[in-house]
Amino acid sequence: MQYLSSGPEDESNHRLVRAENLLFPETPRQPYPAVDGVAGAGETSSFQVGRLLRKYWLLLLSLMLLGAAGGFVSVILSSPMYKSQLMLEVQSSNGLLRPGEGGNAETSDIDIQTQVQILHSAHFLKLGYDRMQQDSAPLAPMGRDIFSRLRQRIHPATQNPMEATKTGLMVAMASFDARPINRTRLIQLTTQSTSPDVAAQFLDAMAKEFIEASTHSRSTNARATGDWLAVQIEDAKSRVDGAEERLRDFSQAHNNVFAGQDATLDDTKLAQLKGELAKIQPVRISRQNRYELTQKYPPEQLAEVLDDGVLRNYQQQIEGLKREKAMLLTTLTEKHEKVRKVDAQLEVLQRSYAAEISSVLMRIKHDYEASLKEEKALSAAYAGQSQRVGSEAGTAQQFAALKRDADTQRQTYQSLLMQQNQTNLSSSVPIIPISIAEPAVPADTPYKPQPILNISFGTLLGLALSAGLIFLRERMDRSIKVPGMTHRLFNAPELGVIPNLGNGNGGKRGWLGAKNGNGTHEDPNTALVAPASAPTFVTESFRSTLASIIRNQASGRAQKIILVTSPGPSEGKTTVVQNLGIVLAESGRKVLLVDADFRRPHLHRKFGLANEWGLIDLLSEDLPLSEYPLERLAVPTGLPGLAILPNRVTQNNVAKALYSPRFRAVLQNLSRQYDMILVDAPPILSVADARIIAPLTDSLILVLRCGVTDRESAMEAYQRIQADGVSLLGTVLTDYNLSADRRRQYYYDYGDASRA
């Protein structure tokens, strides 16, 4: 039987380890605040993704492979479809490009749309189908790729080549499409079929039928148009001759009085009089305005007076003499000779100035009277000429009507001649109105199904499905998954994190407290391993937990009797008791492990000991405790400093043993004999045993199992502990997947001497 002890290690190293644990106990890691009740705040999103990938990699891989397989099967079970296209170029409506047009066709968008609608008609589809059946040959074997060979193996072809061709032709007819390409004279024909040859041949047949129909229609229309134009030209020519003859007879009957082809001589004279009258009227109005101004305003304010140079000269001389007189009067009188001389000169100038103004006013009046007289004469002449022209208005109208009719008939005749020439030229030039710009070519590979796309889509679908399942699983999983979650649930320190064996046993998942296949706990020889073969990270995790417990003991309160329990069964409390006792004994302490489970005791099996006599017997007997030898109260485990007080299933009332006053006395008596007592109690939520025993101890350790203990159970256990007034020393998280925590694994690996 092997224990988790110092084993064959050097004794000096053991003393050093014990001194470190006693003098410098490890400070427990601060709890990580939970995020959304799942992970600690120090945990990054990449850590979460990595943890989920490591946890669900098999589900993820299985669903992705299943999706890829589904995509692969869909490719094999789907009939391959081949797509082909053909380009038609539509020429101008008359089949010609005139000089200067370049490559710009006369066909409008409406013409292109008309051609497209014709191609879509059932009549042309029927023509293409008939032509295809006449020209096509049986299909050659196709499908040389791996998917085609697999299809042949799964569904061997039973149709003969002609039936296969007919089936492909029906698919091609149903999927045929024609659409114009914007801002071009091109029409794109597309179709798809189960055979690439059928798709290409059907487009060729449709194009040929359409070209032949367009060419035939063009020739027929040209002939019909030519015949119709010949008849119309003969009729138009006779109408032109008749109109010109009537115009000529009318002109001769009226002695050719028309000056030109548009008016008579009287009309021309009337127009001349009208023009002259229109010229004289503005002149008369202007002169009348000038004359009326002379009647309203003083002459000195008229523009003619102000702009006249002679009058301005008189004004300047008069002003000069007046200034000279004013200067003389300052020293002389009015009768002085010099003053009288200036007055004489001033009088002469004023008479001349008045005569000049009268002359200007008289000239303005005469100009107005002359213009008025001329206007009246022209008006009288225009009125007389208008009367003469009015008497001949009926004749002029008849002439104009005859002339318009002759011009109209002549223009119609010229237009028909031009159309006939253009039609003859178009029909004589062998131009095909529609041509194939890009022929149809059989496709090498089917456009659907696409293996890469189908398989990729199936893989992505599997990935999405697995992500959804993982999301639902994680949302529904209320278990504690990572260290530090107890800090979010209740304010209790986390004493330690015990990893599972899957981190160091070559990928085999399990841990020291795991159960075997039949539901019982593992054999002691597999539950306890020697340090030579024990994973270092497991040993170090219990030592770290012990350091946290010792630190709490150093805080002042003696905690010699510690109860270890869990919310539910199979959460590792017995294994924690067992291994904590081993590492406590390693530190030089005397340790006793008490199995307080009266229903399913199994601590003795961890050490391979018998349980013929135990705690239940000690509580049932009446012998004073002082008379029991120490070997009777505790069974040595074989490890120095470590002993256990086993228990066995009782047939009596369990409550009687639990509530026995002797229970407290037993624990107090044992506490005087040992440095530390660890009590293994049943789950606190399953039975009331732990709640009854807890007041008899100094503190309590709550064991939670990663991925098993749910948050509600942990919170309920904590609430019961608080309600009972029991001191909670802290929690221990077991079965933790250490590979998800690189920081812890690094230090555990660092302490493994085998990795050096």
Confidence label for 461 from pLDDT (cuts 50, 70 and 90): very high
pLDDT value, residue 566? 94
pLDDT tens, position by position, 606-625: 888 888 888 888 888 888 88
Taking only the tens place, the pLDDT of each residue in 196-217 is 888 888 888 888 888 888 877 7
Q: How far is CA 678 from CA 399, 573, 578, in A?
A: 139, 11, 9
Answer with the residue of higher pLDDT: 109 or 416.
Answer: 416
Same domain, 386 and 489: no
In this structure, are residues 536 and 754 in contact, taking their beta carbons and an 8 Å threshold? yes
Cα end-to-end distance, the chain, whole Å:
29
What b/e sequence results for 90-127 when a residue is b if at least 16 CB atoms lie within 10 Å of its CB, and e otherwise?
bbbebbeeeeeeeeebebeeebbeebbeebeeeebbeb
Q: Mind listing the pLDDT tens digit for each residue in 472-496?
A: 877 777 778 778 887 778 888 889 8
HEC secondary structure over 94-153: CCCCCCCCCCCCCCCHHHHHHHHHHHHCHHHHHHHHHHHHHHCCCCCCCCCCHHHHHHHH
The mean-pLDDT minimum among 43-57, 96-110, 111-125 falls in 96-110
Helix axis angle for 573-586 and 11-23, nearest 10°, is 110
Q: Do 631 and 745 reside in the same domain of the chain?
A: yes
- Which bin fits 535, alpha (ψ -120 to 50), beta or left (φ > 0)? beta
Is residue 157 over pLDDT 60? Answer: no
Q: Is residue 409 part of a domain?
A: no
The answer to the question of residue 58 being in a domain is no
- Contacts for 213 with CB less than 8 Å, ≥ 6 apart: 124, 127
Q: Which has the minimum average pLDDT: 98-107, 138-147, 216-225, 616-625?
A: 98-107
* pLDDT more than 70, % of the chain: 75
pLDDT digits (tens, 9 = 90+) for 296-311: 777 776 777 777 777 7
Residue 689 falls within a domain, yes or no? yes
In whole angstroms, give the CA distance from residue 304 to residue 360.
Answer: 7
Looking from the CA of 664 toward its CB, the CA atoms found within 13 Å total 8
* Domain assignment present for 180: no
**346 and 495 part of one domain:** no
- pLDDT at residue 756, rounded to an integer: 38
Instruction: Please give the Cα distance from 251 to 401 (Å, whole number).
Output: 12
Task: Read off the pLDDT of each residue in 168-172 and give the average, rounded to a whole number.
Answer: 84
- What pLDDT is attached to residue 262? 52
Last residue within a domain, chosen from 333, 364, 391 = 391
Residue 636 CA to chain centroid, in angstroms?
72
What percentage of the chain has pLDDT greater than the value 90? 14
Residue 573 confidence class, pLDDT cut points 50, 70, 90: very high
Residue 628 included in any domain: yes
Same domain (yes/no): 377, 505: no
> Does one domain contain both 386 and 493?
no
- Cβ 527 vs Cβ 521: under 8 Å: yes
Between these two residues, 690 and 126, which has the higher pLDDT value?
Answer: 690
Mean predicted confidence (pLDDT) in 412-429:
76
Overall average pLDDT of the 251-274 stretch: 67
**Does residue 365 sit within a domain?**
yes
Strands 642-645 and 591-595: parallel
Confidence at 515, pLDDT banded by 50, 70, 90: very low
Is 429:95 a contact under the CB 8 Å cutoff? Answer: yes
pLDDT in tens, 628-663: 888 888 889 989 999 999 998 876 778 888 888 899
Q: Do 577 and 701 fall into the same domain?
A: yes
Q: Which residue has the higher pLDDT, 177 or 151?
A: 177
Question: What is the mean pLDDT of the segment spanning 235-246?
Answer: 84
Residue 525 sits in a domain of what CATH number? 3.40.50.300
Q: Categorize the per-residue pLDDT at 732 as very low, low, confident or very high, splitting at 50, 70 and 90.
A: very high
- 490 and 384: one domain? no
The residues, ordered by sequence, that sit 6+ positions from 491 with a Cβ below 8 Å of its Cβ are none
Instruction: Report whether pLDDT(100) > 50.
Output: no
Q: From the CB of residue 530, how many other CB atoms can be counted at a distance below 10 Å?
A: 13
HSE, side-chain direction, 13 A CA sphere, residue 526 = 12
For residues 538 and 498, the answer to whether their CB atoms sit within 8 Å is yes
DSSP letter for each residue of 352-384: HHHHHHHHHHHHHHHHHHHHHHHHHHHHHHHHH
pLDDT score at 427: 63
Question: Residue 107 pLDDT more than 50?
Answer: no
Is the pLDDT assigned to residue 722 strictly greater than 60?
yes
- Residue 588 sits in the same domain as residue 707: yes
Q: What are the tens digits of pLDDT across the range 180-201?
A: 888 888 899 999 888 888 888 8
Do 387 and 509 sit in the same domain of this protein?
Answer: no
Residue 692 domain-assigned?
yes
Has residue 242 got a pLDDT over 80? yes
In the chain, the amino acid numbered 214 is S
Confidence of residue 7 (pLDDT cuts 50, 70, 90): very low
Residue 218, helix vs strand vs coil: helix
Is residue 658 within 8 A of residue 667, CB to CB? The reply is no
Which pLDDT does position 333 carry in this prediction?
A: 84
| Residue 280 exposed, middle or buried by CB count within 10 Å (0-12, 13-18, 19+) | middle
Question: Per residue in 75-97, pLDDT tens?
Answer: 777 778 888 899 988 876 544 43
pTM over cut 0.85 = no
* 10/117: higher pLDDT: 117
Whether residue 467 is contained in a domain is answered as no
Distances in whole angstroms, Cα of residue 412 to Cα of each of 232, 240, 404: 10, 9, 12
CA neighbours closer than 13 Å in the CB half-sphere of residue 293: 17
Give the domain extent around 387. Answer: 265-391
Q: Where are the alpha helices (DSSP H) in 175-253?
A: 196-253
CA distance 294 to 364: 8
Q: Out of 123-132, 165-174, 219-228, 299-308, pick the least confident.
A: 299-308
* 191 DSSP 8-state letter: E
Which token pair is 531?
A: 């340090």
Q: Comparing 469 with 678, which gets the higher pLDDT?
A: 678
For 223, the token pair is: 């002939």
Return the closest-CA partner of residue 601 out of 545, 530, 657, 642. 657
pLDDT band at 428 (very low <50, low <70, confident <90, very high): low
What pLDDT, on a 0 to 100 scale, did the predictor assign at position 720? 93
Residues 351, 696: Cα–Cα separation, whole Å = 154
Where a domain ends, among 359, 375, 391?
A: 391
Q: Of 267-271, 510-514, 624-628, which gets the smallest average pLDDT?
A: 510-514
Mean pLDDT computed over every residue of the chain? 76
Taking the C-alpha atoms of residue 171 and residue 191, their distance in angstroms, rounded to an integer, is 9
Which pLDDT score, from 0 to 100, does residue 151 have?
67
* Confidence band, pLDDT 50/70/90 cuts, at residue 553: low
Contact 645, 656 (CB under 8 A): no
- Residues 493, 610, single domain; the answer is yes
Domain count, the chain: 2
pLDDT band at 105 (very low <50, low <70, confident <90, very high): very low
Q: Is the per-residue pLDDT at 140 higher than 60?
A: no
| Domain end position, chosen among 323, 357, 391 | 391
Q: 731 or 8: whose pLDDT is higher?
A: 731
Checking if the pLDDT of 178 tops 80, the result is yes
Average pLDDT over residues 128-148: 65
Please determine, for residue 387, whether its predicted confidence score (pLDDT) is greater than 80.
no
Task: Return the pLDDT at 506.
Answer: 40
Lowest mean per-residue pLDDT among 180-189, 383-392, 450-459, 679-688: 383-392
Torsions phi, psi for 711 (to 5 deg): -65, -35
Q: Cα(543)–Cα(497) distance, rounded to whole angstroms?
A: 10
Q: Which of 13-27, 55-69, 304-318 has the highest mean pLDDT?
A: 55-69
Residues 750, 603 share a domain: yes
